[in-house]
Structure 1
């Protein structure tokens, strides 16, 4: 006797069949048109802004943000295709998952780079790790975690397509997310340590920029914690079958992080000025 196949089936989108379609909608819902359009538009505007800032200030180390926004655009284009044409398509699901999962790694890499520049600015003695170690260790951790996640997601899609049990692939996905949450938490500890100790530094960086950096970093971390909770809950459960959670805890935090870095782009803001007693520099340094 065959195992009953559970999951979300939308009567408005009958299963088209074929080798590239699952018998259920793997998303757990039909992706909303509005969210797909909003994603494409907002990330396209952010891409234009970041490309302009990148060339204006020549902060090439921050170019990974532009790369991430391109991936977000591609991901939401595939969600639009799923929404309007075929929500059962396994390749489209995997493609949007790959792009939307990998894109924040580019944003994380930009944050690691900014923190490494901060360490150089304040002085090596104010950080528990040297700048190159921060970049090398945490970027490597993110790459490894992302490879595991994408492999797990691809196997989940394949399992659904072949009507196999997706539990093992989901556990692979869970392992990648758990490792990423742990490594990012360690980075947050290093960031907090550095900012706390740097109060004693003879140089000062605009406080508003540091606040924006912390908020953007926490937004990216919130998104990663959501993905971990969603996967840990299990397939076709509450978090994974209600798009409102995706919109509020995946889409919104990344948009916040990307747009914070359009105004508080490190080009005009990440410049050190001498401390004078207890008075700290609050404005931006010379833009260029």
Structure 2
């Protein structure tokens, strides 16, 4: 990308003149013109994953994992908006905000599903192996993600407004950075809690034949965390940084990790591996405990 393609005020695509509509901003906030092929592929991929996940959720009556399907639906909407940016108008502020809101918010629901998995594992294998109670894990980490995501979306929306008004968006970017920093911290704490539990419960995991699922759970959690770290690094560089202005980073560190995580859970669906509900796992665990006492 040459210097004349990236003016000091932001990126303008020389091959895609600005329509200058009422919802258009002077520059392309993405830092590039989004790839239509990537956006369409991503939307199709998440639609396929939604069908698989929703089908298994219904089949195994694992309604506790439904937030994961909601996250997949958000991914679809986000990438549809991104495809509209790529094909119709990359300068359109509404397309950018919808794209950013849904793609950034989707992992909150995906993470909520992951938090619920750990809660179910603790109920299934025994709370004695966990540093925190299942309920605390759900409430604390989901609330943390909600707070960080609201902050991120507010920062991103404000960036769009500032760009539209031709004002300095640095403060808005700092808000976005604050939300991402907290999210990286929060998921990092979750990884530590989950890792501690899996290490302490490794024998119980083997006895219940959940070793493969535990590995899938760990890998998917790390992938979602990788995506969050990428967003933090991108925002820390500031607008028009090398990460933000190269879509290859977005494809490899935003789309790919999330796509891989949802694929893993499609193959090892929590409903099939852990039971229909968290309450059911608690009942089975109590029954097994009572049987051991009788023996």
Does the TM-score normalized on the shorter chain lie above 0.5? yes
Counting helix residues as a fraction of each chain, which structure ranks higher? 2
Give how far 1:205 is off. Answer: 4.0
Counting matched residue pairs gives 271
Q: Structure 2: any 5+ residue segments left out of the alignment? A: 1-6, 276-280, 286-295
Q: Tell me which residue corresponds to 1:214.
A: 218
Q: Tell me which residue corresponds to 1:193.
A: 196
Q: Tell me which residue corresponds to 1:248.
A: 252
Measure the CA separation in 2 of the matches of 1:41 and 1:65. 17
Give how far 1:105 is off. Answer: 0.6
SS of aligned partner of 2:180:
helix
Measure the CA separation in 2 of the matches of 1:197 and 1:16. 59
1:154 to 153, 157, 163: 157
Measure the CA separation in 1 of the matches of 2:149 and 2:168. 23
State yes or no: 1:84 paired with 2:99. Answer: no
State yes or no: 1:107 paired with 2:89. Answer: no
Q: Tell me which residue corresponds to 1:95.
A: 98
Measure the CA separation in 2 of the matches of 1:205 and 1:176. 38
Instruction: Give every structure 1 segment of 4 or more consecutive aligned residues whose post-TM-superposition deviation is greater than 2 Å.
Output: 199-205, 270-274
Give how far 1:63 is off. Answer: 0.6
Give how far 1:6 is off. Answer: 1.6
SS of aligned partner of 1:47:
helix
Q: Tell me which residue corresponds to 1:226.
A: 230
State yes or no: 1:19 paired with 2:22. Answer: yes
CA contact (8 A) 1:209 1:270 kept: no
Which deviations, in whole Å up to 9, do the C-alpha atoms of 1:217-237 show, x marking residues without a partner? 000000000000000011011
Measure the CA separation in 2 of the matches of 1:157 and 1:227. 17
SS of aligned partner of 2:201:
helix
Question: Where does 1:96-135 land on structure 2 (aligned, <5 Å)?
Answer: 96-135=99-138
Q: Tell me which residue corresponds to 1:283.
A: none
Q: Tell me which residue corresponds to 1:65.
A: 68
Give the TM-score of the pair, scaled to structure 1: 0.91
Give the TM-score of the pair, scaled to structure 2: 0.89
Q: Structure 1: any 5+ residue segments left out of the alignment? A: 275-288
Which deviations, in whole Å up to 9, do the C-alpha atoms of 1:182-240 show, x marking residues without a partner? 01000000000000111254853421111110000000000000000000011011000
Give the alignment's Cα RMSD to 1 decimal. Answer: 1.6
Measure the CA separation in 2 of the matches of 1:85 and 1:199. 52
Q: Could you tell which deviates more after superposition, 69-78 or 4-13?
A: 4-13
